[in-house]
């Protein structure tokens, strides 16, 4: 199973802009993509001033990571401006890059405001925990991430979105009480945002198909403050699958209906033949 998010985000500073993340116990044969993304973002945040808040990240998964060895994060200070700060991060194992990310930080300004409305979904406490369902995929998620309260909206209660091919919804929160540092919550959300998004592509197809799934890239926009130890709704869509790849998108709302983040990911979803 994976470690606690606190242990995952504890990076050792080796040099001014070089950090090392610990190897984390897991049942996965490859390093979890959310772990690499969250540690990369944490490393970038360690090189910025507190008044700058991360508002976006764009990452590419280049090679499978080895979960049994640490990962080194090399931060490049691309820009230090008055309103925006930009960082580029390379995650390295055994001398080879496994992930690269650009992150942008903003000193907030005043401007127009609007947001989408939260979907009409059941309250999280009215839904069963993933350990209480019979879905093998959800039971595996529960075993790998026991530190999280995860509650999927049943497929027959997910309202189709006009024109959308596939959709699933997940309520989640950390069972561990997290520090008050807003950057810690952003990194935590980057971690968990990779947990189920690509699987949304399966929702548009009959069950039982053998697929090779792997994240290829990952982009996030952090829109408003939130806490990852309070309930968050992950509304996930799969607008397209073709050429062995699937495009997936997510909107993340807090329990009060505030839109706090948005996610887009493309992943490998090619057929496996027995």
Considering the domain architecture, whether residues 255 and 149 belong to the same structural domain is answered as: yes
Domain range for 30 is 1-109
Would you give per-residue pLDDT tens digits along the chain (274 residues)? 567 999 999 999 999 999 999 999 888 889 999 999 999 999 999 999 999 999 999 999 999 999 999 999 999 999 999 999 999 999 999 999 999 999 999 998 889 999 999 999 999 999 998 887 667 777 888 888 999 999 999 988 998 777 677 899 999 999 999 999 999 999 999 999 999 899 888 877 877 777 788 899 999 999 999 999 999 999 999 999 999 999 999 999 999 999 999 999 999 998 876 5
Mark out the alpha helices in 152-232 (DSSP H runs).
182-192
The last residue of one of the domains, among 63, 83, 109, is 109
Indicate the residue among 109, 133, 161 that finishes a domain: 109
| Residues 100 and 149 occupy one common structural domain | no
Phi and psi for 215 in degrees, rounded to 5?
-70, 135
Whether residue 10 sits in one domain with residue 138: no
Residues 74, 17 within the same domain: yes
Last residue of a domain, one of 77, 109, 141: 109
**Domain-located, residue 206:** yes
Angle of the 182-192 helix axis to the 33-45 helix axis, nearest 10: 160
> Residue 28's Cα: distance from chain center in Å?
16
Domain CATH for 226: 2.40.160.210
Q: Residue 163: inside a domain, yes or no?
A: yes
Bridge partners (DSSP) listed for residue 148: 174
Tell me how far apart the alpha carbons of residues 63 and 8 are, in angstroms, rounded to a whole number: 20
In terms of domains, do 163 and 256 share one? yes
Strand partners, 240: 247
CB 254 within 8 A of CB 209: no
169 and 101 within one domain: no
Task: Determine contact, residues 70/3, Cβ cutoff 8 Å.
Answer: no
| Same domain assignment for residues 79 and 190 | no
Q: Is the dihedral of CA 118, 124, 129, 135 positive or negative?
A: negative
Same domain, 161 and 127: yes
CATH of the domain at 55: 3.10.129.10
pLDDT of residue 178: 96
Residue given tokens 């055994």 in the structure block: 94
What is the CA 251 to chain-centroid distance, rounded? 11
**Residue 130 domain flag:** yes
- Whether 137 and 249 map to the same domain: the answer is yes
Q: How far apart are CA 105 and CA 55, in angstroms?
A: 6
Q: What is the pLDDT of residue 130?
A: 86
Tell me: do 139 and 102 sit in the same domain: no
Overall size of the chain counted in residues: 274
> What are the backbone angles phi and psi of residue 220, rounded to the nearest 5°?
-140, 150
- Which residues participate in catalysis according to the annotation? 194, 215, 265
């Amino acid at each position: 199973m994976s470690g606690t998010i606190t242990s995952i985000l504890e990076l050792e500073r080796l040099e001014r802009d070089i950090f090392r993340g610990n190897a984390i116990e897991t049942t996965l044969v490859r390093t979890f993509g959310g772990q690499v993304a969250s540690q990369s973002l944490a490393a970038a945040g360690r090189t910025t001033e507190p008044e700058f808040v991360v508002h976006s990240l764009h990452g590419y998964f280049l090679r499978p990571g080895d979960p049994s060895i640490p990962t080194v994060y090399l931060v490049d200070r691309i820009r230090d401006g008055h309103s925006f700060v930009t960082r580029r991060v390379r995650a390295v194992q055994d001398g080879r890059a496994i992930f690269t990310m650009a992150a942008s930080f903003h000193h907030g300004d005043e401007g127009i405001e609007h947001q989408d409305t939260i979907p009409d979904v059941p309250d999280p406490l009215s839904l069963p925990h993933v350990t209480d369902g019979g879905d093998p995929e959800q039971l595996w998620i529960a075993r790998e991430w026991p530190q999280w309260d995860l509650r999927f909206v049943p497929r027959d209660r997910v309202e189709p979105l006009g024109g959308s091919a596939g959709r699933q919804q997940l309520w989640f929160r950390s069972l561990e009480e997290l520090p008050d540092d807003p950057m810690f919550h952003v990194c935590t959300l980057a971690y968990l945002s990779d947990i189920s998004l690509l699987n949304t592509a399966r929702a548009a197809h009959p069950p039982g198909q053998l697929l090779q799934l792997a994240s290829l890239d990952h982009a996030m926009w952090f829109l408003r403050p939130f806490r990852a130890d309070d309930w968050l709704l992950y509304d996930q869509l799969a607008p397209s699958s073709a050429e062995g790849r699937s495009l997936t998108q997510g909107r993340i709302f807090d329990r009060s209906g505030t839109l706090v983040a948005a996610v887009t990911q493309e992943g490998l979803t090619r057929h496996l033949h027995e």
